[in-house]
Amino acid sequence: MTDTNIVDLRSDTVTKPTPDMRQAMADAQVGDDVFGDDPTVNRLQEKVAELLGKEAAIFVPSGSMANQTAIRAQTQPGDEIIAHADSHIYHYEAGAPSGLSGCSLRLLPGPQGRYTASDVEAAIRPLDSHFPQSTLIVVENTHNRGGGSVWSIDSIAAIRAVADAHNLKMHLDGARLMNACIATGTPPAGYAKYFDTVSTCFSKGLGAPVGSAVAGTAATIRRVHRFRKMFGGGMRQAGIIAAGALYAIENHIDRLSDDHDNAKRLALAAAEMPGLSIDPDSVETNIAYFDVDENAGTAQSRCQTFREKGVWMLPVAPQRIRAVTHLDVSRDQIERAITVLGNVLGSQSAV
């Protein structure tokens, strides 16, 4: 089966650079970024800082490095980080908060990856030498395991008030922050102003091949810069990939609404099919989770059958499948995916 016949919904990380993005990368001016000499990297960092309303930003190779350098810059070994139990920093970053920063995690429950200011208040440790010290609160927006769920500004503001009352810092894992901005109409700086540091990713919905950034105060970003080097993230002629990221934030943010529409379309159709269950109202951006009826097989077996027919999805639990729409999935491909799912599941019901 050729690539053109494949509908790859495993993740928005599978996007490939567009021809215009490739041209921008080929034409990029470069220098040694470790010395601060790469003009394209410098321009990207200035652009990100402006977009997020922060004093400074730094380009890093990955979203995990963005989160972990921000954590390391704002904590000490033995501190405790407050985060959701389904957070990316806990599940998908290889134990880095403990391994790289020496921090434990205080994990909070809550629907769709969201917790409340009251939850945070109750989780903050007393100032007692027996306990780890609560130092940092992490919010993930949108929330991956929450199904691309979006945090409201009111909820974040309430948590910020608790953080300020207890002298805690806040980090925004904004790997898919631009999806939240498009879904709510909130500008990036409107979210970012509540956080001491913000990470954002270029290689997911925005379609760049590599890279993320961390933004914050100039002093904090100087510390992030040091830990980027310590963690092996110093790059040389990085302008080649920074140009892809620049192109992405200049051209691919507004079109994220297409991905949201496609995810909703897929969810509405799948909700009418036997053997799958999903609440379409839970699909707020570009991520949809489907639960597979045990009588219809496992998530692994269903995904294998779908894959054989050209629709690639990701089994994430014994009975759960994730589908993510993105730059490289058109509306026609979503319709093709709906047809395949309907045929496999014994229904071609469409909304």
Which domain covers residue 312, as residue numbers? 3-14+255-345
Distance, in Å, from the CA atom of 212 to the CA atom of 49, rounded to the nearest integer, reads 13
Question: Residue 190 CB: number of other CB atoms within 10 A?
Answer: 15
Question: Residue 257 CB: number of other CB atoms within 10 A?
Answer: 14
Final residue of a structural domain among 204, 220, 251:
251
Amino acid letter, residue 153: I
Does one domain contain both 220 and 274? no
Which residues in the chain belong to E strands, given as ranges? 7-8, 56-60, 79-84, 104-108, 133-140, 169-174, 197-201, 212-216, 276-277, 287-292, 311-312, 314-317, 320-324
Q: What's the CATH number where 316 sits?
A: 3.90.1150.10
Whether residue 153 contacts residue 193, with contact meaning beta carbons closer than 8 Å, is answered with: no
* 145 Cβ neighbours under 8 A, 6+ residues apart: 86, 87, 88, 91, 113
Q: Does residue 19 sit within a domain? A: no
Final residue of a structural domain among 218, 251, 284:
251
Q: What's the CATH number where 207 sits?
A: 3.40.640.10
Residue 273 structure tokens: 């099919």
Q: Which pLDDT score is estimated for 90?
A: 98
Alpha carbon distances (Å) from 230 to 31, 37, 207, 227:
21, 19, 28, 5
Q: Does residue 281 sit within a domain? A: yes
Does one domain contain both 307 and 180? no
Exposed/middle/buried for 13, CB within 10 Å: 0-12, 13-18, 19+?
Answer: middle
pLDDT in tens, 270-294: 999 999 999 999 999 999 999 999 9
* 327 Cβ neighbours under 8 A, 6+ residues apart: 12, 15, 18, 205, 206, 207, 252, 255, 259
pLDDT in tens, 249-271: 999 999 999 999 999 999 999 99
Paired strand residues for 7: 311
Does one domain contain both 10 and 58? no
Exposed/middle/buried for 5, CB within 10 Å: 0-12, 13-18, 19+?
Answer: exposed
Distance, in Å, from the CA atom of 142 to the CA atom of 287, rounded to the nearest integer, reads 10
Q: How many domains does the chain have?
A: 2
Q: Does residue 326 sit within a domain? A: yes
Q: Which pLDDT score is estimated for 349?
A: 41
Q: Which pLDDT score is estimated for 1?
A: 52
Q: Starting at the edge strand that comes first in sequence, how are the strands of the sheet with 169-174 ordered?
A: 56-60, 212-216, 197-201, 169-174, 133-140, 79-84, 104-108
pTM here is 0.95
Give the CA angle between residues 130, 82, 196 to the nearest 5°: 115
- pLDDT tier at 350, thresholds 50, 70, 90: very low
Q: Does residue 37 sit within a domain? A: yes
Q: Does residue 298 sit within a domain? A: yes
CA 232 to chain CA centroid, nearest Å: 22
pLDDT average, residue stretch 120-145? 97
Q: 197-201 and 169-174 as β-strands: parallel, antiparallel, unpaired? A: parallel
pLDDT in tens, 294-334: 988 999 999 999 999 999 999 999 999 999 999 999 999 99
Nearest to 175 by CA among 54, 301, 41, 68: 68
